[in-house]
A and B are shown apart, each in its own frame.
Chain A
Amino acid sequence: MNQDYDLHLEEAKGKIEESSDLEALKKLEIELLGKQSLTAQAKGSLGELEPEERRELGLALNETRSKLEEMLETRRRRLESEVKGEQLENERLDLTEFDRGHRLGHRHVVTQTWERLEDLFIGMGYSVSEGPEIEDEWHNFGALNFPLGHPARDMYDTLYVEYGDPMSTLLRTHTSPVQIRVMEEEDPPIYSIMPGRVFRSDTADSTHMPVFHQIEALVVDRGITFGDLAGTIEAFTSAYFGKDFESRLRPSYFPFTEPSAEFDIRQPGGKWLELGGCGMVHPEVLKAGGLDPEEWQGFAFGFGLDRLALMRHEIDDLRELFRNDYRFLAQF
């Protein structure tokens, strides 16, 4: 008797493995386990047997059915996974087809440098101040201790605009007039930077533009010293250019600072590179800003912003910054 079931199982196994899709398998399941199946028929006739025989045959039947179920289930899983695999295969995509240069826009390199510098000084506790690009003669020169007719005005090739009295209104030649505006508007202590656009009557070449950008720092507080100036420049230098960079101050001349200096930077063993100008805020400038120079002392330093952008990205021509060729703009 049991041998019959073994044979049945052997037969069923062959059929199950041959079933090629889920539908055929379903039919096979009915054939093998349904009411008309061999085992179901046999189960129905169990009552006719002796208890001993019935128990034995019952066990054999159950075992056979569960083996059939297991074989069917295994095959079903297999077929199902083949179907899913086929479906996924039909959805296959070449993702490189989609990599067609969708891109973000780019901030201008000058803006990137500008924001980087702002962030650095904000970290040092400075705020950011601004002023107009078209300035009056007083803020650009007079208040900064350049009296009318002072030869130092010649150091700046000034562009004037036709507005108000002749020579009264100009395109600011430096960001320093913002120093005066900050002193006029705010009470010390002042810890501020002033980035901005400035103008000179210059013919464009690889290192000159009639329009360029500067940034300067102004600190006015009690007891600010020249040592503070040198130390702040050193701190800025190592923060912006790298820890191994050092700075030095050399005597120079600006009407609005005294003592005045140029500041240079270098990597250890490298050549000194002149970066900008600085000095202690001149007492006359503090007065022009409405402050008592006996009570308040301060320092200022400034430098070209575009040049830092050129240095960072190894750009060799200043004009490129303002030509707005897409092949340039899209690079950074």
Chain B
Amino acid sequence: MKVLLSWLKEFAPIEGEPDAIGEQLSELGLAVEEITRTGEHLEGVVVAKVLDLRPHPDADRVQIVEVDSGDGQPLQICCGAFNMSPGDFVPLATIGTTMPNGMEISRRKLRGEWSNGMLCSGAEIDLGEDHDGILILGNESEQGTPLADSLGIESDVLFDLEVNPNRPDAMSVAGVARDLAAYQKIPFSIPVPKVSEKGKDISEILKTEIVSPDLCGRFVVRVIDGISIQDSPQWLKNRITALGMRPVNNVVDVSNYVMLELGQPSHTFDLASVANSEFRVRWASDGEEIVTLDGVGRNLTAQDGVVTDGSDSPIGIAGVMGGVSTEISESTSTVALEMAWWNPSAIAKTSRRLGLRSEASARFERGTDPEVIETAMLRFCELLGPEALMSPGIIDEKGDLPAREKIKVRVSRVNSILGTDLDQKDILQILDPIGFEAESVDQDIDVMVPSFRPDTSSEIDVIEEIARIYGYERIVKTVPKSKTFGSLTGKQSDRRLIRTTMMGLGLDEAMPVPFLAPGELENAGLESDGIKVANPLVAEESVMRSSLRPGLLKTLAYNESHRLTGLRLFELGHIYRQPDKPQPLPDEREQLVSVLAGNEAGEIVKIWSALADALAFDEYELITDSQPGFHATRTSRIEIQGRTVGFLGEIDPSVLSLFEVSERVACLEVDIDDLLSIPHGHRSYTPFSRYPSSDIDLAFEVDEGISSNEVKKCLQEQVGVLLVDIYLFDIFRGEPVSEGRRSLAFKLRLQAEDRTLTDAEVAKVHGECIESVEKKFSAKLRS
């Protein structure tokens, strides 16, 4: 909502500098988005009359214009526009003028021809949007007159306000003035319009009926005679232009002016075209049709409201747009002026469904003031000028209007919510200037909410008004002491540990958006049952990810396309899946995925084992397995205490080619919810032996099909308690190891808790180990 300072002052003697008033409006909850000083930059711009036009001898895109700027002498100007003719009046920025864009006009030569000023387009002097040609002024202009005087533009201040949905009253200049007056503690009033009445009483002219009272709370009609359709006076045009409306003709402009000033939209009918001079208000029936003012045929539904004529044919869509059949024209002399209070949600639905949102429908949706209608009608007639005459009498039909009820406001509650120390008197003084009729009743206050504040219906609503007018900034700031200890939950701490570990391993955290395009899950080898977005803006954002893998593969592809390869990334985030059993919400889980581009599967095993160590999962198993989207022969599942918590290995090469990733990609995928639900993170002290230890190295030739883990397990079982450490320290393939086999070399450390092991004991274990591995795996000890 935009308001002009001069307009506000018609309702209250507002004081202060524009910036200070802007601050006050913000403190009232009418956030100022922009303050513009209008009219100032017109200094130096005068009306000039075009005397002659001739081509520039040396430039095609410029012509030479001779103008009279008031002294009767021809003045030569070079001009890039060609839309004027001799005799036209145009704005001339004289030498020394500073334009709104900061440019200073000087006398200068353009390809050998002098230019003594600049002729201006509307946009160049902030008078509209038109860039294309020079602004042609009306014929009544006089050369030499300052343009501001000629157009009746006074220097003024325009405030652009952001009005919240709970402030329908602030969708009018008068409403904003009321708030400001309350802030400045100055009187506020809406002047009573002066109108002449003449002719037959309206009851003899037309009839109205509200057929559907749930649609329309109030339907008021008056008749105005003596109207001639013409241009509005310049001052009125200027004001509505400043507030963002385009001048059309006097009737349309006045309708907009009244709406901007008082918040009440109106509609005018050419009474002669209204069948039987009768208006009916009702819900439309499905399939009913109307051609609206914009010439478009509209199909209506039972959720739309209509105004019909005496033949019950729609002549307007309630609160949204009138019909073409009763549109006023140059031949109109008698106008039926209608103002109504419409059911806000009905207007909201219809305007949205038809895509017809206007300044008027926006006000009806928020809820207009049903009691401003009489004043608005008179103001409408007054603004049309002394020739406009109103018929005596008023047609005023009532439907279902929201009841205004008294709200009980407890003084103790006000102070308890706000942290203030206000008494009854303070509160009454706060509420009175914004139209809330309040009276003390015992310890409390009864409040009658004004008709222009339909949003206010409960005690807390009134408390907000009290706080707003009292001033948020006057409320003393205090800090409550938390009665709880602040801490992260176990899961939240683990999440941090996971990220820190990944960081330590040199992995960067990626954060792709959780949307995928159709087909991307399938390309990653995953089920195509991702949860779909019902109303996506673009297809690329229409499927919710069921795994972090596709997003990270896309990230690798994006980077590869920028010649960034070898990335080591991880992501920790939510995934969304169709649940196995019906449940209120999808199966939303947390997943960790790491991708190492340019790495084989072995590298990711290190990442996993470091992570398991960080989280203190000391026992897990990697079991050769397959998983869709993973490499068929380079994948293991991770099991802890018999539960699968994830998979690791490499991404299937055919998946990589679909994602256009050319490097090998090692990948770890862990279900964080499953993983963290298994007890972990705690390590009890294990005492260690004080006696010397002995090491044995054993290298076995075994078939490729036998996993190193199986051999290791066999050794562990064989040695039993004496084994304090075992690890695979070398793998060797090739001569002299036979084809299809490889050598696995383990280092075993033996130690007893209560004694030093003798050479004989160690030799015995050595022999047993060889025997058991050779026997179990058809292995052969290498010497």
Binding site for B on A (CB under 8 A): 102-108, 110-111, 115, 118, 121-128, 132-136, 149, 151-152, 155, 159-164, 166-167, 169, 171, 189, 191, 197, 201-203, 209-211, 219, 221, 223-228, 230-232, 234-235, 248-253, 258-262, 280, 282-283, 297, 321-327, 329-330
**Interchain CB contact (< 8 A) of B588 among A134, A221, A283:** A134
Decide: A125 near B482, CB < 8 A? Known: A210-B513, A329-B509: yes
Decide: A258 near B535, CB < 8 A? Known: A122-B486, A134-B588: no
B507 neighbours in A (Cβ, 8 Å): 105
**Interchain CB contact (< 8 A) of B576 among A115, A134, A248, A329:** A134
Are B531 and A163 neighbours in the complex by a CB distance under 8 Å?
Answer: yes
A128 neighbours in B (Cβ, 8 Å): 488-489, 492
Are A225 and B419 neighbours in the complex by a CB distance under 8 Å?
Answer: yes
**Interchain CB contact (< 8 A) of B479 among A202, A231, A250:** A231
Closest to B514 in A: A211
User: Would you give the shortest CB distance from B772 to chain A, in whole angstroms?
Assistant: 43
Decide: A107 near B499, CB < 8 A? Known: A162-B532, A231-B477, A323-B558: yes
| A321 to B513 alpha-carbon distance, docked (Å) | 10
The verdict on B358 contacting chain A, using a C-beta distance below 8 Å, is no
**Interchain CB contact (< 8 A) of B534 among A161, A209, A325:** A161
Are B486 and A225 neighbours in the complex by a CB distance under 8 Å?
Answer: no
14 contacts between A and B (CB under 8 A): A105-B503, A106-B509, A107-B499, A107-B503, A127-B485, A127-B486, A225-B416, A225-B417, A226-B472, A227-B475, A234-B477, A253-B166, A259-B472, A322-B513
Are B29 and A252 neighbours in the complex by a CB distance under 8 Å?
Answer: yes
A164 neighbours in B (Cβ, 8 Å): 584
Are A232 and B417 neighbours in the complex by a CB distance under 8 Å?
Answer: no
Closest to B461 in A: A258
Are B486 and A124 neighbours in the complex by a CB distance under 8 Å?
Answer: yes
For the complex of A and B, 9 pairs with smallest distance between CB atoms: A125-B482, A251-B29, A227-B419, A225-B419, A253-B164, A231-B477, A122-B486, A259-B464, A105-B507
Decide: A104 near B504, CB < 8 A? Known: A219-B480, A251-B468: yes
The verdict on B332 contacting chain A, using a C-beta distance below 8 Å, is no
A224 neighbours in B (Cβ, 8 Å): 480
**Per-residue interface assignment for chain B, residues 407 to 440, with 1 indicating a CB less than 8 Å from any chain A CB and 0 otherwise:** 0000000001111100000000000000000000
**Interchain CB contact (< 8 A) of B29 among A166, A250, A330:** A250
The verdict on B441 contacting chain A, using a C-beta distance below 8 Å, is no
The verdict on B487 contacting chain A, using a C-beta distance below 8 Å, is yes
| A262 to B29 alpha-carbon distance, docked (Å) | 9
A135 neighbours in B (Cβ, 8 Å): 585
B255-288 residues at the A interface, CB under 8 angstroms: none
User: Would you give the shortest CB distance from B419 to chain A, in whole angstroms?
Assistant: 3
| A313 to B433 alpha-carbon distance, docked (Å) | 47
Are A226 and B531 neighbours in the complex by a CB distance under 8 Å?
Answer: no
**Per-residue interface assignment for chain B, residues 447 to 488, with 1 indicating a CB less than 8 Å from any chain A CB and 0 otherwise:** 000000000001011011001100011011111111111111
A134 neighbours in B (Cβ, 8 Å): 531, 544, 576, 585-586, 588
Are B486 and A210 neighbours in the complex by a CB distance under 8 Å?
Answer: no
A324 neighbours in B (Cβ, 8 Å): 510-512, 555, 558-559, 569
Q: Which of A123, A250, A321 has the most CB of B within 10 A?
A: A250
Are B544 and A161 neighbours in the complex by a CB distance under 8 Å?
Answer: yes
| A122 to B536 alpha-carbon distance, docked (Å) | 37
**Interchain CB contact (< 8 A) of A326 among B492, B559, B585:** B559
| A162 to B534 alpha-carbon distance, docked (Å) | 5
B588 neighbours in A (Cβ, 8 Å): 132-134
**Interchain CB contact (< 8 A) of A230 among B477, B492, B509:** B477
| A64 to B564 alpha-carbon distance, docked (Å) | 77
A323 neighbours in B (Cβ, 8 Å): 558
The verdict on B27 contacting chain A, using a C-beta distance below 8 Å, is yes
| A197 to B511 alpha-carbon distance, docked (Å) | 11
B31 neighbours in A (Cβ, 8 Å): 250, 252, 262
Are A105 and B509 neighbours in the complex by a CB distance under 8 Å?
Answer: yes
A250 neighbours in B (Cβ, 8 Å): 26-27, 29, 31, 472
Closest to B486 in A: A122
The verdict on B344 contacting chain A, using a C-beta distance below 8 Å, is yes
| A280 to B482 alpha-carbon distance, docked (Å) | 17
A191 neighbours in B (Cβ, 8 Å): 482-484, 486
User: Would you give the shortest CB distance from A162 to chain B, in whole angstroms?
Assistant: 4
A326 neighbours in B (Cβ, 8 Å): 508, 559, 564, 567
Query: Interface SS of chain A: helix, strand, loop or mixed?
Result: mixed
- 15 new A-B contacts, CB < 8 A, other than A227-B476, A230-B472, are A122-B486, A125-B484, A125-B485, A133-B574, A134-B588, A135-B585, A151-B165, A225-B417, A225-B419, A226-B419, A234-B477, A248-B473, A249-B472, A325-B564, A330-B508
Closest to A251 in B: B29
The verdict on B196 contacting chain A, using a C-beta distance below 8 Å, is no
Are A171 and B533 neighbours in the complex by a CB distance under 8 Å?
Answer: yes
Decide: A261 near B345, CB < 8 A? Known: A161-B544, A226-B419, A253-B164: no
B600 neighbours in A (Cβ, 8 Å): none
Are B477 and A227 neighbours in the complex by a CB distance under 8 Å?
Answer: yes
A151 neighbours in B (Cβ, 8 Å): 165, 344-345, 348, 365-366
User: Would you give the shortest CB distance from B475 to chain A, in whole angstroms?
Assistant: 5
The verdict on B593 contacting chain A, using a C-beta distance below 8 Å, is no
User: Would you give the shortest CB distance from B544 to chain A, in whole angstroms?
Assistant: 7
Decide: A258 near B464, CB < 8 A? Known: A115-B496, A330-B508: yes
B531 neighbours in A (Cβ, 8 Å): 134, 161-163
Are A329 and B502 neighbours in the complex by a CB distance under 8 Å?
Answer: no
| A283 to B461 alpha-carbon distance, docked (Å) | 11
| A329 to B556 alpha-carbon distance, docked (Å) | 13
User: Would you give the shortest CB distance from B431 to chain A, in whole angstroms?
Assistant: 14
B167 neighbours in A (Cβ, 8 Å): 253
The verdict on B537 contacting chain A, using a C-beta distance below 8 Å, is yes
Are A189 and B483 neighbours in the complex by a CB distance under 8 Å?
Answer: yes
B559 neighbours in A (Cβ, 8 Å): 324-326
Q: Which of A161, A235, A261 has the most CB of B within 10 A?
A: A161
Decide: A110 near B478, CB < 8 A? Known: A104-B503, A161-B531, A223-B416: no
User: Would you give the shortest CB distance from B423 to chain A, in whole angstroms?
Assistant: 17
B534 neighbours in A (Cβ, 8 Å): 159-162, 166-167
Are B585 and A132 neighbours in the complex by a CB distance under 8 Å?
Answer: yes
B569 neighbours in A (Cβ, 8 Å): 324, 329
| A250 to B537 alpha-carbon distance, docked (Å) | 33
A209 neighbours in B (Cβ, 8 Å): 513
Are B562 and A325 neighbours in the complex by a CB distance under 8 Å?
Answer: yes
B574 neighbours in A (Cβ, 8 Å): 132-133, 197
Are B417 and A297 neighbours in the complex by a CB distance under 8 Å?
Answer: yes
Decide: A228 near B514, CB < 8 A? Known: A105-B505, A105-B568, A136-B585: no
Are A228 and B419 neighbours in the complex by a CB distance under 8 Å?
Answer: yes
A297 neighbours in B (Cβ, 8 Å): 416-417
B585 neighbours in A (Cβ, 8 Å): 132, 134-136, 163, 169
User: Would you give the shortest CB distance from A222 to chain B, in whole angstroms?
Assistant: 10
**Per-residue interface assignment for chain B, residues 492 to 530, with 1 indicating a CB less than 8 Å from any chain A CB and 0 otherwise:** 100010010011111111111111000000000000000
User: Would you give the shortest CB distance from A180 to chain B, in whole angstroms?
Assistant: 14
| A111 to B496 alpha-carbon distance, docked (Å) | 10
Are B509 and A122 neighbours in the complex by a CB distance under 8 Å?
Answer: no
